[in-house]
Amino acid sequence: MALTREQVQGLADLARLDLSEDELKTAEQDLDKVLGYVERLQEVETQGVEPFAMPARTAWREDVSLPCDHAACEIILSNFPERSGDLLKTPGVFESPKGKKA
Protein backbone atom coordinates (compact mmCIF):
# COMPACT_ATOMS: atom_id res chain seq x y z
CA MET A 1 0.00 0.00 0.00
CA ALA A 2 1.75 3.13 -1.19
CA LEU A 3 1.06 6.42 0.52
CA THR A 4 0.75 9.59 -1.49
CA ARG A 5 2.91 12.62 -0.76
CA GLU A 6 -0.22 14.37 0.56
CA GLN A 7 -0.91 11.52 3.00
CA VAL A 8 2.68 11.60 4.27
CA GLN A 9 2.43 15.39 4.66
CA GLY A 10 -0.85 14.90 6.55
CA LEU A 11 0.82 12.43 8.93
CA ALA A 12 3.71 14.84 9.43
CA ASP A 13 1.23 17.63 10.23
CA LEU A 14 -0.55 15.45 12.79
CA ALA A 15 2.81 14.65 14.39
CA ARG A 16 3.68 18.36 14.29
CA LEU A 17 6.73 17.67 12.13
CA ASP A 18 7.90 20.34 9.72
CA LEU A 19 9.58 18.17 7.07
CA SER A 20 11.60 19.43 4.13
CA GLU A 21 10.99 17.99 0.66
CA ASP A 22 13.94 15.61 1.09
CA GLU A 23 12.64 14.48 4.48
CA LEU A 24 9.15 13.96 3.02
CA LYS A 25 10.60 11.83 0.24
CA THR A 26 12.57 9.73 2.74
CA ALA A 27 9.54 9.38 5.03
CA GLU A 28 7.42 8.32 2.05
CA GLN A 29 9.93 5.60 1.12
CA ASP A 30 10.35 4.43 4.73
CA LEU A 31 6.59 4.26 5.32
CA ASP A 32 6.15 2.30 2.08
CA LYS A 33 8.68 -0.26 3.37
CA VAL A 34 6.93 -0.52 6.75
CA LEU A 35 3.48 -0.91 5.18
CA GLY A 36 4.87 -3.49 2.73
CA TYR A 37 6.19 -5.49 5.67
CA VAL A 38 2.82 -5.27 7.43
CA GLU A 39 1.14 -6.57 4.26
CA ARG A 40 3.55 -9.53 4.24
CA LEU A 41 2.75 -10.24 7.89
CA GLN A 42 -0.97 -10.33 7.09
CA GLU A 43 -0.29 -13.24 4.71
CA VAL A 44 1.09 -15.42 7.53
CA GLU A 45 -1.23 -18.27 8.48
CA THR A 46 -2.11 -17.87 12.17
CA GLN A 47 -5.08 -20.21 12.40
CA GLY A 48 -4.71 -22.39 15.51
CA VAL A 49 -1.82 -20.42 16.97
CA GLU A 50 -2.31 -19.66 20.65
CA PRO A 51 -2.15 -15.99 21.60
CA PHE A 52 0.92 -14.98 23.57
CA ALA A 53 0.77 -12.42 26.33
CA MET A 54 3.57 -10.91 28.34
CA PRO A 55 2.97 -11.09 32.08
CA ALA A 56 2.61 -7.74 33.77
CA ARG A 57 5.61 -6.49 35.67
CA THR A 58 5.38 -7.06 39.37
CA ALA A 59 7.81 -4.37 40.53
CA TRP A 60 7.24 -0.89 39.11
CA ARG A 61 9.46 2.03 39.92
CA GLU A 62 7.75 4.25 42.44
CA ASP A 63 7.35 7.88 41.41
CA VAL A 64 9.14 10.12 43.84
CA SER A 65 8.26 13.78 44.13
CA LEU A 66 11.46 15.74 44.65
CA PRO A 67 11.26 19.02 46.50
CA CYS A 68 12.05 22.16 44.53
CA ASP A 69 12.54 25.58 46.07
CA HIS A 70 10.50 28.45 44.65
CA ALA A 71 13.45 30.10 42.82
CA ALA A 72 14.47 26.86 41.07
CA CYS A 73 10.85 26.13 40.06
CA GLU A 74 10.49 29.65 38.68
CA ILE A 75 13.66 29.22 36.55
CA ILE A 76 12.40 25.91 35.17
CA LEU A 77 8.89 27.22 34.45
CA SER A 78 10.24 30.42 32.85
CA ASN A 79 11.75 28.31 30.05
CA PHE A 80 8.30 27.24 28.84
CA PRO A 81 6.83 29.42 26.06
CA GLU A 82 3.27 29.72 27.45
CA ARG A 83 2.00 29.23 30.96
CA SER A 84 -0.72 30.22 33.37
CA GLY A 85 0.67 30.19 36.90
CA ASP A 86 2.23 26.77 37.39
CA LEU A 87 0.25 25.28 34.49
CA LEU A 88 2.07 24.86 31.18
CA LYS A 89 0.07 25.49 28.00
CA THR A 90 0.60 23.13 25.07
CA PRO A 91 -1.04 22.97 21.63
CA GLY A 92 -4.25 20.94 21.47
CA VAL A 93 -3.93 17.46 20.03
CA PHE A 94 -6.53 18.00 17.32
CA GLU A 95 -5.63 21.60 16.46
CA SER A 96 -3.71 22.35 13.27
CA PRO A 97 -0.09 23.37 13.77
CA LYS A 98 0.59 27.07 13.43
CA GLY A 99 0.66 28.19 9.81
CA LYS A 100 -1.00 25.01 8.51
CA LYS A 101 -4.54 24.85 7.14
CA ALA A 102 -6.76 22.11 8.53
Domain of residue 17, CATH code: 1.10.20
* Residue 20 within a domain: yes
* pLDDT given at position 30: 95
* Residue 34 within a domain: yes
Give yes or no for residue 82 having a pLDDT over 90. Answer: no
* Residue 72 within a domain: no
How many structural domains are present in the chain? 1
φ, ψ of residue 83 in degrees (nearest 5): -155, 160
Highest mean pLDDT among 26-35, 55-64, 70-79: 26-35
Give the pLDDT mean for 16-21.
92
Beta bridge partners of 88: 83
* Residue 49 within a domain: no
* Residue 56 within a domain: no
List the domain range (segments joined by +) for residue 17: 5-42
CA 34 vs CA 6, 21, 23, 44, 83: distances in Å: 18, 20, 16, 16, 39
* pLDDT given at position 25: 94
Give the pLDDT mean for 53-71.
80
Give the pLDDT mean for 56-70.
81
The model's pTM is: 0.50
